[in-house]
Structure formats: structure tokens, C-alpha cells
Amino acid sequence: MEKVLIAGGTGLVGTHLSQLLNEKGYEVVHLSRKKNPNAAYPTFVWDTKKGTIEEEALQGVDYVINLAGAGIADGLWTTSRKKLLIDSRVKGAELLAKAIQDSVQKPKAYLSAAAIGIYGDRADEVLTEDSAIGTEGFMVKCCQEWEDAIESVTERTGLRTVAFRIGIVLSTKGGALPKMLLPLNFFTASYFGTGEQWYSWIHIDDVAQFFIDAMENEQMEGIYNATTPNPLTNKDLTKRMVKALDKKALVIPAPTAALRLGMGEMADVVLNSNKVLPKRLEEQGVSFQFPTFEAAVKDVVARGI
């Protein structure tokens, strides 16, 4: 039985991935800030601020998966919040790199989350892994420092490394979808600003499976866009969600000025346009269980995942 160590294992993707790995026969352990003997998966304590990690954490580990990072839209982007968003990603990677260097038996691969926010606000431009990254905005800065830290793990450990630039993850357990579903209870649905900005999304089953594919396929290495081949504009996505769930709702805009007033710079999360395609995944022959939005949103709502 192969062993997988996950940092950020109790987050949205980490929880689902842990379950799928367990079902496939992998032994799963987590890194956590607190010891929890009653957790579903054994935990080892790490502290990215102090730079400490339990020595036993890497023992017998075949794969390290790093999904750790403070929620990008969980609080207004104050100066201190921006520092936390970057540090929670960068310092975690640095700590894992050191732990891997110090381990007697090295893992087979290091896998990490990243984000499509690295492309910045790009209007209708089609973006693949070959596209240049963005040049403006905090999202770009945060994602660039994140990926620099991932690259540093590769350089310091020599491990095969895979990073997924993840789009909007469809799940009822967290992320953007529950916030989009809530107004449907009041017979409305909102798009943001003009609604013409592109949203690149992915079903939670698919993104979790990508990590498993990357573990099991030694040919996979480097950066991959973890999105479906079918991005949608925000307005179109909202309309399709209403129709797919057979709801009656008035689709209305949330004005840009109001979003900027209430969210400040963090409004970039919903206003930036990223028309991202998974070129490298398709070239690798990776399959999508839910390539179309209607089927994806129906599935996560029906299954409550």
C-alpha cells in the first residue's frame, strides 16, 4: 500500500481527494496545525510560521501533495491579509522542501495546487500553459510567488513535480458554488459586472482525479491547467446554472461599482476574466468525467458533494 501525505487535507479539494485515495487503497495521512487523534486520517503537526514539522511526517511516504493555503476570498485584502495569503503558500512549500531534503527515504513525487489567477485579467484571450503570465494585480503576484516556491521544491529535492493551476472548483461543500446557489432560494441569480468575463471551472471529482493521475503517471511533470475545455462567461454560466437546476429565477447583474465598494481589490476574484484551456492535460490523454457545466452542476447538487 502506497502512502500519501497531504498538506491542506481538510480543505475543499483535500477532503475529497483523501476520500478518493482511500477508496483506491492508498494510505492517507495529513499535516495539520493541531494534533487530532480522532481525525479520519492520521495527522502530523506542522507550523509554517515557526518552520517546524514532526520528524515522522515523511516516514514511508510515497507522494507529497500540497494543497495548503489561506482562502483567497475569505477576507478583505488588507496588507496583513495579503501577507498571509502569500506566506501560507510559500512558507508551506519551503517547509516541505526542507523536510523532504532531510528525509532518509525520498518520496516519488511532489504535487501541488496552484491557480489560474496567475494569468491576470485577460478579457477574451485564450490561455494555455504556453501563455505568458499576467503582469498586474495581487492575484498575479500571489500566484507567481506560489509557483516560484513550487519550483524551488523541485530544485532543492530533485523530485518529479506537478502543479495544477486550478480554476473554479464546483462543489456544494465550499468555494464559489454555494454562494451562487444561495440567491436561488429567493428566486434570483446574479452575475458580476457586465458578466462578460470568462470563468474557467472544474468539477471536484475531476480535479481530485487529476492529482491521482499525476501520482500514477510518471510522464506527468510541470505545470497543468486544471480546468475543463469549456469555459463560460459569467453571465452564460449563471443562466445555465438556473436552467440546469430547473429553477425559476430572475438573472440580474451585481454592478461593478458596488462590488468594488464592498469588496475592494478582492473584487478581482469575480471580475477578472480567464479563458483557460487544459491543453497539456488533453495532450496527456487525461479524461474529464464532467466536461460540460450543466452536467457538472447537476451532479454536485444531486450528490451533495
The Cα–Cα gap between 95 and 227 comes to: 28
Q: 304 phi and psi, to 5 degrees?
A: 65, 40
- Decide: helix, strand or coil at residue 50: coil
Q: Where does residue 159 fall: left (phi above 0), alpha (psi -120 to 50 degrees), or beta otherwise?
A: beta
Q: Is residue 282 over pLDDT 90?
A: yes
pLDDT at 35: 81
Mean pLDDT of all residues in 67-90: 95
pLDDT at 255: 92
Mean pLDDT of all residues in 76-104: 95
pLDDT at 39: 85
Poorest-pLDDT segment among 17-21, 117-121, 265-269: 265-269
Mean pLDDT of all residues in 96-118: 96
| Size of the chain in residues | 305
**pTM of the predicted model as reported, rounded to 2 decimal places:** 0.96
Mean pLDDT of all residues in 138-154: 97
- Decide: helix, strand or coil at residue 252: strand
Q: How confident is the model at residue 257 (pLDDT cuts 50, 70, 90)?
A: very high
The Cα–Cα gap between 182 and 78 comes to: 27
pLDDT at 55: 86
pLDDT at 119: 98
Q: Is residue 8 over pLDDT 80?
A: yes
Residue 289 parent element (H or E) = none
pLDDT at 199: 98
Query: How does pLDDT run across 225-241, given as a tens digit for each residue?
Result: 999 999 999 999 999 99
The Cα–Cα gap between 289 and 305 comes to: 15
Which homologous superfamily does the CATH classification assign to the domain defined by 3-169+202-229+274-289?
NAD(P)-binding Rossmann-like Domain (3.40.50.720)
Percentage of the residues of the chain whose pLDDT score is greater than 90: 92
Of 58, 152, 154, 66, residue with least CA distance to 113: 66
pLDDT at 7: 97
Any alpha helices (H) in 188-247, and if so which ranges? 204-216, 234-244
Mean pLDDT of all residues in 278-299: 96
Q: How confident is the model at residue 127 (pLDDT cuts 50, 70, 90)?
A: very high
Q: Is residue 37 over pLDDT 80?
A: no
pLDDT at 40: 87
Mean pLDDT of all residues in 202-215: 98
Mean pLDDT of all residues in 38-51: 91
pLDDT at 277: 98
Contact assessment for residue 188 and residue 179, using Cβ atoms and an 8 Å cutoff? no
Reading the block at residue 114, the C-alpha cell is: 496552484
Query: How does pLDDT run across 148-158, given as a tens digit for each residue?
Result: 999 999 999 99
Query: How does pLDDT run across 180-196, given as a tens digit for each residue?
Result: 998 998 899 999 999 99
Q: Is residue 145 over pLDDT 80?
A: yes
pLDDT at 214: 97
